[in-house]
Amino acid sequence: MEFKHEPVLLKEVLEWLAPAEGGVFADGTLGGGGHSERILEKIGDTGTLYGIDRDEDALRAATSRLQGFPAFHAIHGNFHDIDELLPENVRLDGGLLDLGVSSYQLDTPERGFSYHEDAPLDMRMDRSAGMTAAEWLNSVSEKEIMSALYDYGDEKWSARIAKMIVERRAGQPLATTGDLVACVDAAIPKAVRRKDDGHPARRTFQAVRIAVNDEIAPLEQALNDWISRIRPGGRLCVITFHSIEDRIVKHAFRQMQNPCTCPPKAPICTCGKKPVAKVMGGGAIRPTKEELAFNPRSHSATLRVAERL
């Protein structure tokens, strides 16, 4: 299947990263390589771009797309582990994290991310490691499923859906995306289902995907590790697609800008914690009307930028 993914907020990312000839950059979520390709065009043969993805299919597709750029270095791994993935002495002129899944992952039924088609319930971005969604849903407690649905999907029917999953798996373990959709359908009353926006399983699928790929807990530390890798004046751009991630990025960037823990009325700072970055662009940067019109995926996208001090 062809790797189709329209990069979001591309113009804005290029403006903030301002890649120039010979620059050193890292894209922690390479995906189809859409953002990376434009960065590579700007940094030329004397630059370096580390393209990281935990999905080997994505890495393969992007490597084939970007093979004409000598500055491109593909790395299979989790951007949470930047210190293990990049050589120790490398300092970046800028970094990009475009969080979540790609259109390619969503549109490839056998990856198990989509509620539109019946396929094995996998949902792992890295198919070489970790539990599949089916293994996770068939093994964790009802409470753990409920918390994930509530925390990562804002699902108000989380308790009923979790109960239904546990009841059904006692008869037969969940195996396919269709099995999970059926649990959601059975748990949410029909009348309410019709009033809710979008597909009734949308929130559940988002939540299970986030849990299976451990997308939230390591994020704040990862942002701090990334900013430490950027040289003064360089920028870290982060694109999020839902409020849970956006809140973490917003909070982490504010902490970088103002880490002081002294009481607000203290006359001078005695905690010794110094700012490491400043927030750029006034906070949340959203797609233009033009982008919203041609790329529906950009609707929920928010870009935040921090500049290393």
**Left (φ > 0), alpha (ψ -120 to 50) or beta: where does 283 sit?**
left
User: Does residue number 25 form part of the binding site for ligand SAM (CB under 6 A)?
Assistant: no
Q: Which is nearer to ligand SAM, 54 or 169 (CB)?
A: 54
Residue 221 CB, nearest distance to ligand SAM (Å)? 12
Residue 123 CB, nearest distance to ligand SAM (Å)? 11
User: Does residue number 108 form part of the binding site for ligand SAM (CB under 6 A)?
Assistant: no
**How is residue 32 annotated by DSSP?**
T
User: Does residue number 240 form part of the binding site for ligand SAM (CB under 6 A)?
Assistant: no
Whole-number Å distance between alpha carbons of 137 and 131:
10
Measured CA angle at 126 (ends 109, 48), to 5 deg: 115
Burial class (CB in 10 A: 0-12, 13-18, 19+), 293: exposed
Q: Which is nearer to ligand SAM, 101 or 145 (CB)?
A: 101
Quote the distance between the C-alpha of residue 1 and its chain's center: 22
Residue 66 CB, nearest distance to ligand SAM (Å)? 11
Among 61, 82, 125, 148, binds ligand SAM (CB under 6 A): 125
* Farthest CA pair distance, the chain: 65
Provide φ and ψ at 73, rounded to 5°.
-125, 115
Among 23, 24, 48, 80, binds ligand SAM (CB under 6 A): 80
User: Does residue number 200 form part of the binding site for ligand SAM (CB under 6 A)?
Assistant: no
> DSSP string of 59-116?
HHHHHHHTTT-TTEEEEES-GGGHHHHS-TT--EEEEEEE-S--HHHHH-GGGS--SS
The H-assigned helical ranges of the chain are: 10-17, 34-43, 56-65, 82-85, 103-107, 133-139, 142-153, 158-171, 177-187, 190-195, 202-212, 219-228, 243-257, 289-294
Residue 42 CB, nearest distance to ligand SAM (Å)? 15
User: Does residue number 78 form part of the binding site for ligand SAM (CB under 6 A)?
Assistant: yes
Residue 145 CB, nearest distance to ligand SAM (Å)? 22
Evaluate whether 176 touches 205 at the Cβ level (below 8 Å).
no
The residues near 210 (Cβ < 8 Å, ≥ 6 apart) are 148, 152, 153, 216, 244
**# chain residues binding ligand SAM, by CB under 6 A:** 22
> Which residues make beta-bridge pairs with 176?
120
Residue 62 CB, nearest distance to ligand SAM (Å)? 7
User: Does residue number 7 form part of the binding site for ligand SAM (CB under 6 A)?
Assistant: yes
Q: Which stretch binds ligand SAM (CB under 6 A): 29-37, 157-165, 263-271, 275-283?
A: 29-37
Among 12, 16, 23, 33, binds ligand SAM (CB under 6 A): 33
User: Does residue number 158 form part of the binding site for ligand SAM (CB under 6 A)?
Assistant: no
Evaluate whether 193 touches 185 at the Cβ level (below 8 Å).
yes
Among 17, 49, 58, 305, binds ligand SAM (CB under 6 A): 58
Residue 52 CB, nearest distance to ligand SAM (Å)? 5
Among 39, 49, 52, 162, binds ligand SAM (CB under 6 A): 52
User: Does residue number 114 form part of the binding site for ligand SAM (CB under 6 A)?
Assistant: no
User: Does residue number 53 form part of the binding site for ligand SAM (CB under 6 A)?
Assistant: yes
User: Does residue number 287 form part of the binding site for ligand SAM (CB under 6 A)?
Assistant: no
**How is residue 247 annotated by DSSP?**
H
Chain residues that interact with ligand SAM, rule: CB under 6 A: 5, 7, 28-29, 31-35, 52-55, 58, 78-80, 98, 100-102, 125
